[in-house]
Amino acid sequence: MSEILQINSVTKTFPRVVANKDVSFNIKKNSVHALLGENGAGKSTLVKILYGLLNPDSGEILYNNNLLNITSPSDARKKGIGMVFQHFSLFESLTVRENLILGIDDKISYSELKNKLKDISARYELPLDLDAPIITLSAGEKQRVEIVRLLLQDPQLLIMDEPTSVLTPQEVTNLFKTLEALIKEGRTVLYITHKLEEVINICDYVTIMRNGEVIDSCSIDNQSAESLATKMLGERLGKIKTDYSNVSEKINFEVKNLSCQFNDPFFTDLKDINLKVKHGEIFGIAGVAGNGQSELMDILTGENNKIDTGKIIFDNKNIEKFNPKKRRDLSIAFVPENRLGHSAVPELTLSENILLSQFPNNNFINKGVIIHKNIENHVNKVISQFNVITPGSDVKASSLSGGNLQKFVIGREILTDPKLLIISHPTWGIDAGAEFSIRESLINLAKNGTSIIVLSQDLDELFEITHRVSVIFNGTLSDSFETKNISIEKIGLLMGGHKNV
């Protein structure tokens, strides 16, 4: 069997981050090749290079033993490389047929197209209702349209970016049947995923990436979910020195049997979520992005206060129906993942952004009139105590760097002395200095008896600061474990959806 794709020392750097560092591996013709890695491992960058969306800084790619020289996706398609994106690029208001016609680069007669479609539908078990508007289709059917559109161009190499992330289990089975048919025809599939089971079940080869580098590239024989998990996450060094002495025995916050269905392919339904957080405890929720974290976060903050079933109990009060303002009145503070436009408004000044989250002890408002003096005091306290680097409190939030704005937002919440802090990805996309000071301030806050829930994809972070962790996968939260007792392998298996731990 010959190689369809040879990737030789491809490097791609972005400002402040090396996305692909000397990446080399080969893909054998007529195989399903998995590309496995955490978020931010560099999978997407590599795939974008292969599909002509990005140019590598250095390195070369051989396709069928010829140098691959492409500058756009349409170049890639002409050469026989096709891609199915995680998020569909279909015109919702048009029909299936119209979308298929729009996707074709070459000129083709209508009857020829009809025959071709019939042929493809039959061969790969991809039934389609050509006259149905896209908007009426389920996620699986939409994906089918994308695949058929791709197959019309007769590609040799198909790249699929996390294709099962929006599918139901039945749809996943159907997709796997289609993959089998594709391989039988002699085509090659590059399959990007973080789900270990899928790699074991349907792939022939696997390349594991971590921090932009290739860790291993090998045949799937002799690999187990455990060995793949360890390779994906790496050996985490450093002794866990979490201090448990300030964690009390009393439960401060509890989520009981929470379930919520969204009926939306881009939302993950939450299923029977339970968690308990004690006074002074930092509770971590690990997981790969898109497994229900943002849905859970919205429910915990009260931005979504319409859950199907379940209870949220804080300080012996049922708060599941409370909006964010009412929860703040109970001294619960939140820091959502997205700074610009969610926890802060970029167009407003820092002083104005202080007003977004008001607590009963703030005294920012008297009968609807803003007391600017109290806000000024608070904003200056935040800036000085949390080392926010800014020319002043009257600059717009958008002019601060990501790390400084995050310090500002977290400082704003911590200085209100919350009894519970719920924070999502506290150090996402910020520099090491800010990262350190934010983690330190969270640990100090917990020492004073505040309960903290941290949702994060960053395992180092969770191992460094949390007392307990659990893992969210596909809308289900695992049991929680004391951080000092859980192994990296176990977390990796849970994150990959492996149930028997």
The residue within the footprint of other proteins, chosen from 118, 250, 326, 373 (CB under 8 A), is 326
Q: How far is the CB of 343 from other proteins (least distance, A)?
A: 6
Buried b (16+ CB within 10 A) or exposed e, 434-444: bbebbbebbbe
The residue within the footprint of other proteins, chosen from 136, 323, 377, 448 (CB under 8 A), is 323
**DSSP characters over 88-149:** ----TTSBHHHHHHHT--S---HHHHHHHHHHHHHHTT----TTSBGGGS-HHHHHHHHHHH
Distance (Å, rounded) from C-alpha 370 to C-alpha 190?
Answer: 57
Closest CA to 39 of 351, 458, 335: 458
- Stretch 327-356 residues interacting with other proteins (CB under 8 A): 327-328, 334, 336, 338, 341-348, 352, 355-356
Point out which span in 80-88, 234-242, 364-372, 381-389 binds other proteins (CB under 8 A): 364-372
CB atoms within 10 A of CB 309: 12
Q: How far is the CB of 267 from other proteins (least distance, A)?
A: 15
- Which CB sits closer to other proteins, 67 or 369? 369
Distance (Å, rounded) from C-alpha 173 to C-alpha 154?
Answer: 23
- Stretch 250-309 residues interacting with other proteins (CB under 8 A): 301-303
- Which CB sits closer to other proteins, 193 or 351? 351
Q: Show the binding pattern over residues 21-60: x = contacts other proteins (CB under 8 A), - = does not.
A: ----------------------------------------
Q: How far is the CB of 324 from other proteins (least distance, A)?
A: 4
The residue within the footprint of other proteins, chosen from 173, 224, 399, 487 (CB under 8 A), is 399
- The alpha carbons of the chain give a radius of gyration, in whole angstroms, of 25
Q: Are strands 3-14 and 17-28 parallel, antiparallel or unpaired?
A: antiparallel
Strands (E), 353-403: 365-366, 369-370
- Which CB sits closer to other proteins, 295 or 464? 295
Q: How far is the CB of 395 from other proteins (least distance, A)?
A: 11
- Which CB sits closer to other proteins, 284 or 302? 302
β-partners of residue 188 are 157
- Stretch 60-79 residues interacting with other proteins (CB under 8 A): 71
> Is 369 a binder of other proteins (CB under 8 A)?
yes
Name the percent of the chain in helix, strand, coil, to the closest 5. Answer: 35, 25, 40
The residue within the footprint of other proteins, chosen from 365, 384, 436, 448 (CB under 8 A), is 365
> Is 381 a binder of other proteins (CB under 8 A)?
no
Q: Is 249 exposed, middle or buried (0-12, 13-18, 19+ CB in 10 A)?
A: exposed
Q: How far is the CB of 25 from other proteins (least distance, A)?
A: 31
Q: Are strands 468-473 and 282-286 parallel, antiparallel or unpaired?
A: parallel
Contact indicator for 473, 291 with CB cutoff of 8 Å? yes
Point out which span in 101-109, 188-196, 309-317, 319-327 binds other proteins (CB under 8 A): 319-327
Q: How many residues bind other proteins (CB under 8 A)?
A: 31
Distance (Å, rounded) from C-alpha 455 to C-alpha 10?
Answer: 33
- Which CB sits closer to other proteins, 268 or 357? 357
Closest CA to 475 of 292, 260, 258, 265: 292
- Which CB sits closer to other proteins, 312 or 462? 312
> Is 370 a binder of other proteins (CB under 8 A)?
yes
> Is 240 a binder of other proteins (CB under 8 A)?
no
Q: How far is the CB of 483 from other proteins (least distance, A)?
A: 29
Interacting residues toward other proteins by CB under 8 A: 71, 301-303, 323-328, 334, 336, 338, 341-348, 352, 355-358, 365, 368-370, 399
